[in-house]
Chains A and B, each alone.
Chain A
Amino acid sequence: MDRRFFRAGFSIACVVTVTAVGADPVASRDRLIESIRSTHATLVDAQQNLSTLQRQGALGAREAADYQAWIQQMRTGLDQDCQQLIRSTDAPPPDDLPCDGGILPGAGAADIDTSGERTLEERTAELDASLGRSLGEFDDLLLREQERVKASKPDAGDGGGSSSGGGGMASAAGDDGAEQTGAEGGQQTSSRDTDRGRPGRSGPSSAPPDTPDGSDDDVVARQLREAAEKETDPELKKKLWEEYRKYKQGIQ
């Protein structure tokens, strides 16, 4: 039933659009206005119906995509009609039309759910950006927390002090001495161990002279910096440092 509905709707919209476009040279202003009103009403109905069907889970992927394409086609037609109406006369369009400077939607479209009129790609991009922002906020939270943890780190004890700080936040190097008395020596360092964000790094840096000091690095910058510092191939190392500098310049 749903499929029938939007196929019928699609036909109506095509007729509306073709009528509006076909009558272009000779159409009276009133006729164009009526066409816009009619298309707009269909568009609003279609959007509401799509939302209902999606909430009910009554649409398959293909049907939903067809439906969206049809709505988009109506929007394009409506936009063109609005522009034509604006060009055809000096008088402003009636207030109840969804035309605002030829750009749809605008004034008079307050009852339209404009978010539903975006393309799937636009919506995905917007959600993606939202996810990116959220991840960035979380990075900031963790960085602040890590700074706080670092600041509250107890001073290294003397004498029979602890072997604390072996891993995690603190450098594993802090524990090495404690284990030297172990049997075989030859400490192995896991490469994955250093892949993860590890604030509080210390020790000499292999950064070129014109490189920022990294004190305000965010997560991405830190990973780039660490990759550059760890890289043994000089050519690759140079490229990584360049990438790091570019990234730092980009975010400042």
Chain B
Amino acid sequence: MSRGVRVLFVTLVLGVLSGCAAVTHHQNVDKGQVLERAQVEIAEEQLLDVWIGLFDPGKLPENENKARGLSMEIRKAEARYMPVQLRNIMEKTGYWGAVRVVPAETEGGELLVNGTILRSDGEHLELEIKAFDATGEQWFSKVYEYQLEAEDYNGRSAADPELFRPLYSAIANDLATYRAKLTAAELRNIRRVAEIRFAADMAPDAFAGYLQEDRKGHYSLLHLPAEDDPMYRRVLAIRERDFLLIDTLNGHFDNFYAELDEPYFEWRKARSAESAELRKLKREANTRKALGVAAILGAIAIEALGGNSTSRSTGTLRNMMVLGGAYVIKTGFDKSAQTGIYSDAIEELGESFSTEARPIVVNVDGETHELTGSAEVQYARWRDLLRQIHSSETGLPASATDLTGSRSATSDHGF
């Protein structure tokens, strides 16, 4: 195979592979990013409910210096904090129905937004966001990146306390842009599919046949239940409780957010300042070292190039340059030692933040576990009752449904 043919072949394979994989876009968010709001009130039947999953905390940087002062405890706290931040911003746009934070990968929402923290160190925030609707359609997958300067923290105002707001606004704007492309019929279909998916999950005997799922995980409606279908009314009554449960969970997340806000801000501010100082010191130290070496080299060059007379006449200068160079190198190394002190301070700050955040994180986990544990029992009971009612109403034998339930909110995702 000639080289040209091989290149063509590889290009084609790569092209096919990239076509198969979901494309993830990237955006460096500008500081001037403005949140877009609906200019007119959107009809109720066209409002999609949004569920924002608790973010994936991601991984810490492998580079030791970059990971300094960061910890998974902080990341876990951020993974609970940031979705609330996104929710608060999306609620202001007027494009959506209820916007709620839900445990990761919870199913059942009309629009589900998942996020992964790729980078968060007080100065940089990088999030990967994926959005899916109830039909299984992926709206987009995109990485958002935003960078602050240390001095930006000094300009924080009570009126607009979230310094990374432009990043969240960019996410909210993209979601609104995608939504705007959908027709009213498509929006209604998403809502119906979400409803029937819930019904099929709670009462598969009665409603599984209303849906079709293709190999790609896309759902379509085969038919709809009658409005006065008593079994459907029962399922909708349960769905209302599902919403109430999620509202209650959001109460926990709100409290967590409020408790964390101040220490988290201070940690980000301090870490950003320390990082900036660290970079400055490194630059200075490197400059001093470089100057010192240059001075010594200069002195040596004077001696090498000059004759005896020159050497005598420049002896003092040469000696000064050598000594000066040595001094500059020394102060350069002293500066390096200082950077170590600051790095330690960052680590200390990170640890103290972790210590401060840990009880809150554990508390949220404990409380949501307790609540959803109760809910899990209830969901299993309702599923069983619906199964019996369906059997009683139709005379059909009750199916051997797994009563542990498949409701993801309470069983699959461990909250």
* A interface residues (Cβ-Cβ under 8 A, vs B): 54-57, 59-62, 64-65, 68, 120, 123-124, 127-128, 130-131, 134-135, 137-139, 141-142, 145-146, 149-150, 152-154, 156-157, 159-170, 172, 175-184, 186-193, 195-198, 219
CA distance A145 to B99 in the complex (A): 20
Check A141–B98 contact: CB distance below 8 A: no
* Cross-interface CB contact of B265 among A160, A175, A198, cutoff 8 Å: A160
Give Cα A192 to B99, complex, Å: 10
Q: How many A-B residue pairs have CB under 8 A?
A: 213
Question: Would you call the interface of chain B mostly helix, strand, loop, or mixed?
Answer: helix
Query: Of residues 381 to 415 in B, which have CB atoms within 8 Å of A's CB atoms?
Result: 381-382, 385-386, 388-389, 392-397
Q: Say yes or no: is B184 at the interface (Cβ < 8 Å to chain A).
A: no
User: In the complex, are the beta carbons of B262 and A190 less than 8 A apart?
Assistant: no
Q: Are B253 and A168 in contact (CB under 8 A)?
A: yes
The closest CB in chain B to the CB of A152 belongs to: B255
B319 within 8 A of A: no
Query: B22-30, B139-147, B237-245, B344-352: which one contacts chain A?
Result: B237-245
Question: Taking the complex as formed, is B58 at the interface, i.e. its CB lies under 8 A from any CB of chain A?
Answer: no
Contact A165 B254 (CB under 8 A): yes
Known: A161-B262, A188-B94, A193-B99. A124 touches B161 (CB 8 A): no
A165 to B91, CA, bound (A): 11
Question: What are 27 A-B interface contacts by the 8 Å CB criterion?
Answer: A59-B395, A64-B397, A68-B395, A134-B381, A135-B237, A135-B238, A146-B251, A149-B252, A149-B255, A153-B251, A153-B255, A160-B156, A160-B157, A164-B254, A166-B84, A179-B89, A182-B92, A186-B39, A188-B93, A188-B94, A190-B91, A191-B44, A192-B98, A193-B99, A195-B98, A196-B247, A219-B240
Closest to A56 in B: B397
Residues of B contacting A156 in the complex (Cβ-Cβ under 8 angstroms): 258
Assign chain B's interface to a size class: 35 or more
Inter-chain contacts of B255 with A (CB < 8 A):
149, 152-154, 164
CA distance A193 to B100 in the complex (A): 10
| A168 and B44 contact, CB distance less than 8 A | no
Contact A65 B395, CB 8 Å, known A165-B258, A172-B91: yes
Known: A159-B158, A164-B257, A167-B88. A149 touches B96 (CB 8 A): no
Across the interface, do A192 and B44 meet the contact criterion of CB distance under 8 Å?
yes
Determine the distance from Cα of A123 to Cα of B385 in the docked complex, in whole angstroms. 11
Q: Using CB atoms, name the residue of chain A closest to B262.
A: A157
* B243: A residues at CB distance < 8 A: 196-197
Contact of A131 among B42, B234, B371, B397 (CB under 8 A): B234
Q: Which B residues touch A139, using CB under 8 A?
A: 241, 244
**B244 and A127 contacting across the interface, CB-CB below 8 Å:** no
Q: In the complex the two chains form, what is the Cα distance from A42 to B22 in whole Å?
A: 66
Judge whether B248 and A142 touch: CB under 8 Å.
yes
Assembly CA distance A183 to B374 (angstroms): 44
Within 8 A of A (CB), among B333-389: 371, 374-375, 378, 381-382, 385-386, 388-389
B326 within 8 Å of A (CB atoms): no
Most buried by B among A134, A145, A180, A197: A145
From B47, B87, B248, B378, contact of A190 by CB (8 A): B47
The answer on a CB contact under 8 Å between B159 and A169 is: no
Q: Given that A134-B381, A139-B241, A161-B262 are contacting pairs, would A168 and B92 also be in contact in the complex, using a CB cutoff of 8 Å?
A: no
Which one of B39, B84, B252, B397 has the greatest number of beta carbons of chain A within 10 Å? Answer: B397
Q: Taking the complex as formed, is B149 at the interface, i.e. its CB lies under 8 A from any CB of chain A?
A: no
Within 8 Å by CB of A163, from B37, B161, B392, B393, lies B161
Chain A residues within an 8 Å CB radius of B382: 131, 134-135
Return the 4 tightest CB-CB contacts between A and B, nearest first. A188-B94, A168-B250, A162-B261, A166-B88
- Asked whether B151 is an interface residue with its Cβ less than 8 Å from the other chain, the reply is no
B258 adjacent to A167 (CB under 8 Å): no
